[in-house]
Structure 1
Amino acid sequence: MEEWGLGPEDLEKINSELIYTRISGYGQTGPYSKLPGFASVCEAVGGFRYVNGFPDRPSVRPNLSMGDTMAGLQGVIGILLALQARNGNKRGGVQSSGKGQVVDVAIYESVFSLLEGVVSEYDGANVTRGCSGSTLTGIVPSNLYRGSDGKDIIIGANGDSLYSRLLDAMGVPKEDELRTWDSNAKRVENQDIIDAKIGEWVGMRSTEETLQILAKAKIPSGLIYSVEDMVTDPHYIARGQFEEVKIEELDRDLKIPAIGPRLTSTPGSTKHPGRSRPGQDSKEVLQEWLGMTDADITDLINSKAVIQND
């Protein structure tokens, strides 16, 4: 941006209140700042990939660009914090600086922020948390279990009272050894046995029947949803989790995710779904938003500074 005369120092001369947000792989400082960085690579450098997968095979990636999404969220958070600093907040005791600032977001740092206690575990106990498959290290039981219909559910009964209620729901006798593991520390030591017993119980019935039993016992549990499950689920629908927008190339409306989080007084919605070709709205934006003349716009198009597609 500096090469184009559009860096933060250039724009600060025009508007000192400007909040300038930069998102890059490794941030604007440090030895890696000039390296290219896609989400796939930055998720690895940020430690996210190291804890994903199974211990006996290479790390895996969720079929999503988590780094890009998290960097966008950190950008929004940074902008809101910068607005607070610039505008002030009397109730919160924040005095107005009256000035903008640069929000420096790094993709690797955005996924690094998801690592919970990994750094403290390493520094304080010399423990390096790694991949643990479908479980969470040190938390039992919290795992994936397959029903007789071939569908998978997650059961999280790692609290002592939750574990006791799960055993009740499973019909485990009072004298069974499963009942003696009444603390998480004991359950961690016997994780394989506990998971095997739960898996055996879940596998004897359909996931729907199992989830009904667990819901009645107030045990956190749920089906692993595909997008097909989501678009037909009554809770998703009742919460308004989908919007429909018009797309030029389709002869019907297109379903997209609704805007979140949900605000009670000023809920968000999609005003414009975007265009199929870049530059279709260039003239409208330049005229209506920036007040440019037809001659100015033509000069920009001819110099290839702006793309226009009718």
Structure 2
Amino acid sequence: MSGPLLKVTKLTKEFPLKGGLFSGHTASVHAVDGVDFHVDRGETLGLVGESGCGKSTTGRCVLRLIEPSSGEIHFEGKDVRALKADELRILRRDIQIIFQDPYASLNPRMNVGAIVGEALIIHQLTKTRRQFEERVVELLETVGLRADHMGRYPNEFSGGQRQRIGIARALAVEPKLIICDEPVSALDVSIQAQVINLLEDLQEKFGLAYLFIAHDLAVVEHISKRIAVMYLGRIVEMASAHELYASPRHPYTEALLSAVPIPDPKVKRQRVRLSGEVPNPISPPTGCHFHTRCPIAQFPLCKTEPPPLKQSADGHWVACHFR
């Protein structure tokens, strides 16, 4: 099929807040505010930003684990928001998710065989007990685990092994897109590298596409083809991984990259320090959300006019009035 595998247009998500037990709606948290992006077949789009910027909410809206407030989500041309419950179940064979916390995302009362094989039962992908067990063993071995792990429980595994179980569970239904919601942030650095290498191997073997959500810029650079940078619910810059790291355009991206450690002590990087704190998403700033911390902001333009995400070079998009 032609066109992107996943296309998201003007996606928004607001969470209502209530004042008390008997109070009505008093305010809203603007978690995602007009996000546009696409993911091509077999590619990895990295989605980065500070904690609380709306990355995970965006990923869960794509799967409709959280219902979007507005916007469009199309997967292989299908309107995801228009799907009914039975149609959505079919779609979820093609879109899976790997959760951030390998300790909380696995049911402690289910053994590994039941966890990995649950989707096989739900989608009726195996006909006999023998087929079921053979498929579960195949999945475990694909992610670097052993057949005798089937009968064990999550508490018997390390964090890295638990995340491999989560990856095997996602692979069970042979998806086309996997949303990786900070899959290595809870792991030791050495284990992070192993899991990232595994994800890359699986992508090459099965032709998977990833929406890779993270706040670690070094990890995202390693695995992503393109990167989108989020700030307070909006995408402020998007480009190829090489282009973004070599020539960031948005002041916020420049500040993020300046904080990434460089292993070579001879290389000096000028640190860009931002003033103030991230604004409250209940009452985000008018105009450009970044204007309260931006070193190049000019008023009243930046305070009143939200900058559109426009293409400044081939494949390089930036939401800034002056870049």
Shared fold, TM over 0.5: no
Q: Please, what TM-score do these two structures have when normalized by structure 1? A: 0.26
Higher strand share: 2
Structure richer in helix, relative to its length: 1
